[in-house]
Amino acid sequence: MPDPCVKSTWSLILAACLLLAGSGSAVPAQGPEITNVIEEAGIDPIRIAVPTAATSAGAVTFARELVETIRDDLAFSGYFSLHYTEEEALQNAAAGGDPDFAAWLATGAEALLLIQVRLADERYSIDVRMFDPAGRSRILHQRYGGSADLVRRLAHQIADEILGSYDGLTGIASTTIAFISRHGNAKELYMMDYDGRRIRRMTDTGVINTTPSWAPVGDRLALVSWRNKRQLFYIIEPDGTFRTVPILAGELNTSPDWSNDGSKMLYVTTHDHPGNAEIYALDLSSGKNRRLTYSPTIDTEPDFSPTGRQIAFTSDRSGGPQIYTMDPEGTNVRRVSKSGSYNSSPAWSPSGDRLAWVSRIEGRHQIVVLDLNSGTLSRLTRGNWNHENPAWSPDGRHLVFASNREGVYHIYTMRADGGNIRQLTTGVSGETPDWSR
């Protein structure tokens, strides 16, 4: 059964505003739903063989975890698929110098990663070589070192460098996803590694916390919390302390979003008019607040573009929730979503050339993405479930989102073309995820 308590951020804000305004008149108009969506072609991943590492005495356990993590990272990327073979003879043959390219090619491997781990004085030395069997060439050769407790971090670093060697982008294996999970009547902040490992609870407030938003640098994030019996913004520092954000607070305060340079924060409040949520910008260094929208309807879910020169947001000024953009001064408002009666939760891609949001299609909330270069709108998710709150990975290759496809809401990731959907949370539910930058 879908969890009836978890709804889109837009729905929650609408409900809260109606309650605050004491009116039920703002019913979104029904319009035609999106039908002109285009299915993205999938990506055929590279078949990479990552044999068991050659190890010295005492390094077996470390090497096993290292290789497993690297395999997971590469498979997660969606750009590689793991290629298994009867590898032992090949591995032994490869241990000394260049591998037997012809033999590896014959197995069907398109790339080969050979790892050697040595232990000396409680320090592990890792030698990583990547080969192209067809081209009979070495693509990458790196050496790493560290203690046992760094094994996952080292593995993530290696995976990131492998991905970077293919297209020059920074990998995401060392990133963290923040999300909210329900505990009885409370909602607490959680974090996990990008691949769903190491899920850990970060708050124990016993109240409702929502919409975590990572700062662009450092380990800080903004959070909306009722911890002081009033819905306010806090910045959670890396040491776990809460710091109040000096916003113009109203009855409803939500949707914090940092600018990419960390100097400003967008937020939504009913400060000026109860029942009418508007978007404001806070200059974090001066503490000055500036109102950006003046619509008599609801404006919410602001999201800075990577350059900071545009803000995407959701507004029902045309009768139902639609996606708009404006400049950071609040002028030049334009409607971006052209079809469908319900569009919300916009999210700019890190490169600024794509905008993802949630669109109601055939009665369900699906994630779509607009390519600003071509003007093409593509549908990324499907099925008889809801998909909410998309957020991009820092490399723009993936999206994280919440979905009730398993009955209750969980956190999932997918490639930016909609492929390789993976459930990250197990044991705890998940909503409103945000990916560290």
DSSP states along 316-355: -TTSS-EEEEE-TTS---EE---S-S-EEEEEE-TTSSEE
143 contributes a contact to other proteins by CB under 8 A: yes
Q: Which of 388, 393, 384 is nearest to 416 (CA)?
A: 393
Q: Which of 27, 38, 43, 106 binds other proteins (CB under 8 A)?
A: 43
- Amino acid present at 416: A
169 contributes a contact to other proteins by CB under 8 A: yes
Q: Which of 3, 65, 68, 353 binds other proteins (CB under 8 A)?
A: 353
CB of 379 to other proteins, least distance (A): 17
Contact residues for 167 (Cβ-Cβ < 8 A; gap 6+): none
Choose one: 16-24, 58-66, 344-352, 359-367; the region binding other proteins (CB under 8 A): 344-352
Name the strand (E) or helix (H) holding 111: strand 111-120
48: helix, strand or coil: strand
Round to whole Å and give the CA distance between 436 and 391: 10
* Closer residue to other proteins (CB): 147 or 426: 147
Choose one: 95-103, 176-184, 204-212, 288-296; the region binding other proteins (CB under 8 A): 288-296
* Closer residue to other proteins (CB): 11 or 260: 260
The answer to whether 193 touches 187, Cβ cutoff 8 Å, is no
Round to whole Å and give the CA distance between 60 and 73: 20
Footprint of other proteins on residues 292-311 (CB under 8 A)? 293-295, 305-307, 309-310
Phi, psi dihedrals of residue 222, rounded to the nearest 5° = -95, 150
Q: Residue 126 has which token pair?
A: 């890792």
273 contributes a contact to other proteins by CB under 8 A: no
* Closer residue to other proteins (CB): 111 or 224: 111
36 contributes a contact to other proteins by CB under 8 A: no
Footprint of other proteins on residues 174-233 (CB under 8 A)? none
135 contributes a contact to other proteins by CB under 8 A: yes
Round to whole Å and give the CA distance between 167 and 302: 31
Q: Which of 331, 363, 384, 427 binds other proteins (CB under 8 A)?
A: 331
Q: Residue 237 has which token pair?
A: 């520092």
CB of 368 to other proteins, least distance (A): 17
Q: Which of 141, 198, 230, 243 binds other proteins (CB under 8 A)?
A: 141
Footprint of other proteins on residues 73-92 (CB under 8 A)? 79
Query: Which residues are bridge partners to 253 per DSSP?
Result: 269
Q: Residue 153 has which token pair?
A: 């971090």
Q: Residue 429 has which token pair?
A: 């539910």
Choose one: 178-186, 209-217, 322-330, 385-393; the region binding other proteins (CB under 8 A): 322-330
Residues that bind other proteins (CB under 8 A): 41-46, 79, 110-111, 132, 134-135, 141, 143, 164-170, 290-291, 293-295, 305-307, 309-310, 327, 329-333, 348, 351-353, 372-375
